[in-house]
Structure 1
Amino acid sequence: MASTELYSPVLSDALVILGSAGLVIPIFNRFRITPVIGFILVGLLVGPYGLGRLVFDYPWLAHITITDPDGLDVFAEFGIILLLFSIGLELSFDRLWQMRRLVFGLGSLELVVLGASLTFILAAIGQPLVGAMALGLALALSSTALVLKITNTNTPVGKAALAMLLFEDIAIVPIIFLLGALAPHAAEEGVGSFLQTLLYGLAVVLALLVFGRFALPRLFAQAARTKSPELFLAASLLVVIVAALATAAVGLSPIVGALIAGLLIAETEYHGEVENITEPFKGLALGVFLITIGMSIDLQVVWQNLTPILTAVVGVLLLKAAVTGLLLRLMGARRGTATETGILMSSPSETTLIVLTAAASAQLIQPGTAQFWQIVTAIGLTITPILSLVGRRLARRVDNVENLPDPEEEAGKRRAIIIGCGRVGQLVADMMVRHNQPYVAIDSDADLVTDGLRRGYTVAFGDAAHGNALDRLGIDNATAVILTMDEPIAAQRVVKKLRAQHPDLPIIARARDATHAAELYRVGASHAVPETLESSLQLSEAVLVDLGVAMGPVIASIHEMRDELRDQIMKEGELKAKPKLKSAALAERTG
């Protein structure tokens, strides 16, 4: 009796999920494959259409299968909420304002053109017009969870994808209302209800912005003073959940609230700690989401309708890739960026499943039609990581960088690695050559790589912030790493990752200002060079020399001032790190 009471389906499902994470992540990382595919395959295996079919014949399988698939939905949604929250942390209101042309220009154009194209094709093959429009809008959406997990939002491809995905996430609410208004049983007050939701949503967003500006710095300051990592984590999750619930309560998507919460915290000095402390929760919750995607694929139905399903998958992928790529080219993107972004954005989205359900509930499409396109969507989501690899390789070929020097050829050679081959990176490379110091530069922008090769620099194509690009360049044998990238948050991430893996490696980083330099010192930079201070010192040098002061004393005083400023900035970085270090020590004592 006691053993029966100890068994719990909830604990069994938790065991399956945690065990899957413990197996999938290290195995797929070992073979340098994204865990995204692994989690989807696990969902396919342990879901109701996999081993779950055999539970009645073999009851012991209940311990290694998901017994309550619907119970995972809340965790899957939480994973998407945390993903949008982390994207908000990487952004800022200034950067979002700079992206307004892409978000509301490219994003709206992409959704309208794709939706219209898919509607026309589906209507031409026999789908009723209203149902074709519902399906067209659903299939035009792309996966926020997978695309932003795969790409780097600081690259041209990532910026374009982020802009389109942000608009799609905003547009999901009007799409759902539109489908409800088109339903055969829709009432006259449908438009009024939509306008009311829009008004309430705007009021909630403004309230979050105003309240967050004043309340969040004080909230996190109080949490930091307690030096309790548990309280800091609780405060972070509280902000995310409250913001998500606030927007959901008035009919908007909860991910809108999560994004706003991230943007607000990004404006505070605590954004780095919040990002670090919520990262494990985001990864696990996203893993649950991917498992639910795998569980939705019924292999028997796929086999029975293999030809039409494969035709639909290929057709949707080709059309979306072509339209998205063409729109990017018309807006001035280079061919490689347009090619890679188009292919990356070609698969349907997790929100496609939501729109399909809404369309079926509104009787705009038949249940069988909804199931067919749900399977198409699940397959498209499963192969998104493969599409990413294909898009990246085609982009290199289109940009004529396929024959770049192999970065592994001299990976065993001791040399410095310069991250970024723009103006600053090329100047650093020139100085390395002048003093006979071997180096290799790396950049994720194919235009900069091509330009660097044309100018005679040793440069390889790759993304230093993601994947194993630095390993292929021989980071274990590097004499130093010089970061010249003009992306503050990405630079901090790279420095932190490098310092954790290589404690003795000299890391010299470019900083925007003294505050950014202090953050870089805090996460492990050996030297951080603020652009604003260096320009001020050079300006002072020029003025003093023109005023007749001897060059020798001027240079000596400049060096002395530089050392003083560097010591001051390093102390600021250490002071910012102290609460974190004390929190870690406290956690260790209480653990």
Structure 2
Amino acid sequence: MSDPVGAATEAAHHGFDLVPIVVLLAAAVVAVPVFRRIGLGSVLGYLAAGLAIGPYGLGFFHDAQSILHVAELGVVLFLFVIGLEMQPSRLWAMRGEIFGLGTLQVCLAIFALIWVGITLGYPVEASFVSGTGFVLTSTAIVMQLLQDRGQMAQPRGRRIIAILLFEDLAIVPLLAIVAFLAPGGGDATLTDRLEGIAIGLAAIAALVLAGRYLLDPMFRLLARFGAREVMTAAALLVVLGAAVLMNAGGLSMAMGAFLAGVLLSESSFRHQLEADVEPFRGLLLGLFFLGVGMALDLNIIATNWAVIAISVPAFMILKMLVIYVVARITRAPKDEALERAVLMAQGGEFAFVLYAAATQFGILTPEWNANLTAIIIISMVLTPLMIILHGRLTPRIAASLEGVEEVECLTGRVLLIGFGRFGQIASQPLLARGHSLSIIDTDPQAIRDAERFGFKVFYGDGCRLDILHAAGADEASLIIVAASDRDVISQIVELARHEFPMVPVLARALTRQHAQELVRHGAAFQIRETYESALVMGREALTRLGETPEIVEETLADVRARDAERMALEQVGGMEDASKALIHGNMGQPHGHP
């Protein structure tokens, strides 16, 4: 089958060839939703799609490296978006994790991994380079997985990001070491290396100065006179310009983009920049994973299968052990240490740069380079699968109950189940009037936090009848269900009404349909959590529009009456019949069903 990429170049004289773009988009559109639907994640979907359309699949593409060179911009844009979320104050607060935790993990991992090559009989210099390359984790894969799992802003996610940032910084001295290890010490003298360091520092200084004094005024000027597309172009100019500047200074393009994002993180245009860059980031990052899948050379794997079969698990297991040990040394919980080890077990895209430089300097042969590249790619492909296995095989660690009392013979006049944001507010009027409350919750940390503010909350699951008895539900004058999970609320209401029919149950409803469900379960009163606050907002809006207080209150009373009647009709005949009845009955203008 002909190569569409090559055909595109030939077709440039006659017109633009859209076939390669269509193939790439079709592969992503088909594979990614399928893989996400079966629970394997988007990253593995992109990798599989790349393998399918690459040289060893359907053969649509024969030069995966050309795709990767363009797709690396996805990593660059990704780091820019991450930088926008990292204000300088937050980055400064992470300095200990970046340079402490990052240094410890990288140095110990390098020391452990170089023995893989030495054990297989390779020279010390080549073993050092191969092990060092595997230490550099894939920023693109780990960041994407953290984002998919919603852990970017969590403490454990920030610690992983700190290590990744240090690894990005480490590529510069590692490249210098590769040049030093070259046969004959390489062509670079000490003066040349010092000049390289000075150029890198100058590039960073120039970027910092530009970010501090030029970027915000530039965007302010463009916002005043420019069109929306000009703002988008300016955002891409900043990202790519910073990447080019860092690359010229011998640093990674991703690090330049990250610094540009950090410098703009406190700008008033931060959200606009993120919105402008996001579509390009997602598309190019997907293209990067497609390129990685295409670059998996099955011929090399078949020829050197024994070395690769030994090296992949050896590198990954050793790296995981080091990461786990470092995490435990730095007092991370066992579950976090294991999760970090699984997430960061693979090699990364910067290893390709390191191996290419080592090949150029004669430390690695082309065959060794090809083997190592295949090992890195296989490790990247295996990571999403390992994450899935980790999630399914690792038992969920129960939250610590240290310092938390369990329910036993409570006698409060009111039983409050759930002490989150809703329950805390609901309790205040009762406490202000001196009513005694028995409060139970299932979140140990929330219980400990409440105790610091003077609230006595007991650990107990309101879905269990024995817990309700121990919490005094049978003697209570009132039960308030303020949990945050819809199914839990419904289950508690149904159980309480069945077992304690003489005790009124007041329940929090999450949606209109949930409110109807609670009524069916016998709740004496239910309130949608956003209903009253929305009506207060409507009251304020009418007041500010000049309506008289009498008209405002009359209007709100009418809204409440129509809502109550609609709820009653929906209980009997369904939502569609209720809407028709209200409209035909001239109960006011048609309205929705919040």
Given candidates 31, 34, 38, the residue that maps to 2:45 is 38
Give the unaligned 5+ runs of structure 1: 53-64, 403-416, 419-424, 460-470, 482-503, 510-520, 528-591
Q: 1:26 to 1:337 in 2, by over 3 A?
A: same
After TM superposition, the structure 1 = structure 2 runs for residues 404-553 of structure 1, keeping only pairs within 5 Å, are: 426=420, 428-431=422-425, 448=445, 455-456=458-459, 479-480=509-510, 506=530
Partner AA of 1:36 in structure 2? V
Query: What's the counterpart of residue 264 of structure 1?
Result: 263
Q: 1:8 to 1:312 in 2, by over 3 A?
A: farther
Query: What's the counterpart of residue 583 of structure 2?
Result: none
Given candidates 15, 19, 24, the residue that maps to 2:22 is 15
**Contact 1:9-1:68 at 8 Å conserved across structures:** no
Q: What is the rounded CA distance, in whole Å, between the counterparts of 2:441 and 2:274 in structure 1?
A: 31
Q: 1:344 to 1:190 in 2, by over 3 A?
A: farther
Q: What is the rounded CA distance, in whole Å, between the counterparts of 1:224 and 1:440 in structure 2?
A: 49
Cα drift, residue 115 of structure 1: 0.5
Cα drift, residue 288 of structure 1: 1.0
* Most deviating of 30-39 and 384-393: 384-393
Given candidates 87, 90, 93, the residue that maps to 1:92 is 87
1:108 aligns with 2:103: yes
**Contact 1:89-1:271 at 8 Å conserved across structures:** yes
Cα drift, residue 391 of structure 1: 4.0
* TM-score (norm: length of structure 1): 0.67
Cα drift, residue 351 of structure 1: 1.2
Cα drift, residue 393 of structure 1: 5.2
After TM superposition, the structure 1 = structure 2 runs for residues 273-352 of structure 1, keeping only pairs within 5 Å, are: 273-352=272-351
After TM superposition, the structure 1 = structure 2 runs for residues 244-255 of structure 1, keeping only pairs within 5 Å, are: 244-255=243-254
Q: What is the rounded CA distance, in whole Å, between the counterparts of 2:447 and 2:199 in structure 1?
A: 50
Q: What is the rounded CA distance, in whole Å, between the counterparts of 1:69 and 1:97 in structure 2?
A: 39
Query: What's the counterpart of residue 366 of structure 1?
Result: 365
Given candidates 112, 121, 124, the residue that maps to 2:119 is 124
Cα drift, residue 153 of structure 1: 2.2
Query: What's the counterpart of residue 375 of structure 2?
Result: 376
Q: What is the rounded CA distance, in whole Å, between the counterparts of 1:334 and 1:431 in structure 2?
A: 33
For these two proteins, the number of residue pairs brought into alignment is: 442
**Contact 1:180-1:190 at 8 Å conserved across structures:** no
Cα drift, residue 136 of structure 1: 1.3
Query: What's the counterpart of residue 566 of structure 1?
Result: none
Deviations for 1:498-523, whole angstroms, at most 9, x for unmatched residues? Answer: xxxxxx994999xxxxxxxxxxx9xx
Query: What's the counterpart of residue 170 of structure 1?
Result: 169
Q: What is the rounded CA distance, in whole Å, between the counterparts of 1:165 and 1:508 in structure 2?
A: 46
Q: 1:70 to 1:297 in 2, by over 3 A?
A: closer
Given candidates 66, 69, 75, the residue that maps to 1:71 is 66
Q: What is the rounded CA distance, in whole Å, between the counterparts of 1:508 and 1:223 in structure 2?
A: 42
Partner AA of 1:47 in structure 2? G
Query: What's the counterpart of residue 237 of structure 1?
Result: 236
Q: Identity of counterpart residues, as a percentage?
A: 29
Q: What is the rounded CA distance, in whole Å, between the counterparts of 2:156 and 2:325 in structure 1?
A: 14
**Contact 1:313-1:380 at 8 Å conserved across structures:** yes
Q: 1:427 to 1:120 in 2, by over 3 A?
A: same
Deviations for 1:416-455, whole angstroms, at most 9, x for unmatched residues? Answer: x99xxxxxx846544557889x99999xxxx848979995
**Contact 2:49-2:293 at 8 Å conserved across structures:** yes
Q: What is the rounded CA distance, in whole Å, between the counterparts of 1:114 and 1:10 in structure 2?
A: 46
Q: What is the rounded CA distance, in whole Å, between the counterparts of 1:5 and 1:318 in structure 2?
A: 48
Q: 1:14 to 1:84 in 2, by over 3 A?
A: same
* Most deviating of 212-221 and 7-16: 7-16
1:26 aligns with 2:33: yes
Cα drift, residue 298 of structure 1: 2.3
Query: What's the counterpart of residue 214 of structure 2?
Result: 215
Deviations for 1:198-234, whole angstroms, at most 9, x for unmatched residues? Answer: 1111122112112211222212222323473211111
Deviations for 1:523-543, whole angstroms, at most 9, x for unmatched residues? Answer: xxx99xxxxxxxxxxxxxxxx
Deviations for 1:11-55, whole angstroms, at most 9, x for unmatched residues? Answer: 221111122232234333444442111111111111122222xxx
Q: What is the rounded CA distance, in whole Å, between the counterparts of 1:148 and 1:4 in structure 2?
A: 37
**Contact 2:53-2:294 at 8 Å conserved across structures:** yes
Partner AA of 2:66 in structure 1? G
Partner AA of 1:18 in structure 2? L
Partner AA of 1:23 in structure 2? V
Give the unaligned 5+ runs of structure 2: 1-9, 401-416, 431-436, 451-456, 463-483, 491-507, 512-527, 539-594
**Contact 2:54-2:294 at 8 Å conserved across structures:** yes
**Contact 2:94-2:162 at 8 Å conserved across structures:** yes
Q: What is the rounded CA distance, in whole Å, between the counterparts of 1:32 and 1:204 in structure 2?
A: 43
Q: What is the rounded CA distance, in whole Å, between the counterparts of 1:360 and 1:508 in structure 2?
A: 68
Q: 1:506 to 1:172 in 2, by over 3 A?
A: farther
Q: What is the rounded CA distance, in whole Å, between the counterparts of 1:8 and 1:309 in structure 2?
A: 43
**Contact 2:440-2:458 at 8 Å conserved across structures:** no
Q: 1:90 to 1:358 in 2, by over 3 A?
A: same
**Contact 1:337-1:395 at 8 Å conserved across structures:** no
Q: What is the rounded CA distance, in whole Å, between the counterparts of 2:286 and 2:440 in structure 1?
A: 39
Partner AA of 1:20 in structure 2? A
Q: 1:396 to 1:280 in 2, by over 3 A?
A: farther
Q: What is the rounded CA distance, in whole Å, between the counterparts of 1:73 and 1:334 in structure 2?
A: 37
Partner AA of 2:97 in structure 1? L
Any runs of at least 4 consecutive aligned residues in structure 1 with deviations exceeding 6 A, and if so which?
A: 3-9, 433-436, 438-442, 449-454, 471-475
Q: 1:98 to 1:71 in 2, by over 3 A?
A: same
Q: What is the rounded CA distance, in whole Å, between the counterparts of 2:531 and 2:385 in structure 1?
A: 33
RMSD of equivalent CA atoms: 4.0
1:149 aligns with 2:144: yes
Partner AA of 1:83 in structure 2? F
Of structures 1 and 2, the larger Rg is shown by 2
1:266 is paired with a residue whose SS is coil
Cα drift, residue 362 of structure 1: 1.6
2:459 is paired with a residue whose SS is coil
* TM-score (norm: length of structure 2): 0.66
1:180 is paired with a residue whose SS is helix
Q: What is the rounded CA distance, in whole Å, between the counterparts of 2:296 and 2:41 in structure 1?
A: 20
Q: What is the rounded CA distance, in whole Å, between the counterparts of 2:170 and 2:208 in structure 1?
A: 20
**Contact 2:323-2:337 at 8 Å conserved across structures:** yes
Q: 1:238 to 1:287 in 2, by over 3 A?
A: same
Q: What is the rounded CA distance, in whole Å, between the counterparts of 1:290 and 1:193 in structure 2?
A: 36
Q: 1:251 to 1:204 in 2, by over 3 A?
A: same
Query: What's the counterpart of residue 589 of structure 1?
Result: none
Cα drift, residue 5 of structure 1: 7.9
Q: What is the rounded CA distance, in whole Å, between the counterparts of 2:247 and 2:314 in structure 1?
A: 34
Cα drift, residue 87 of structure 1: 1.0
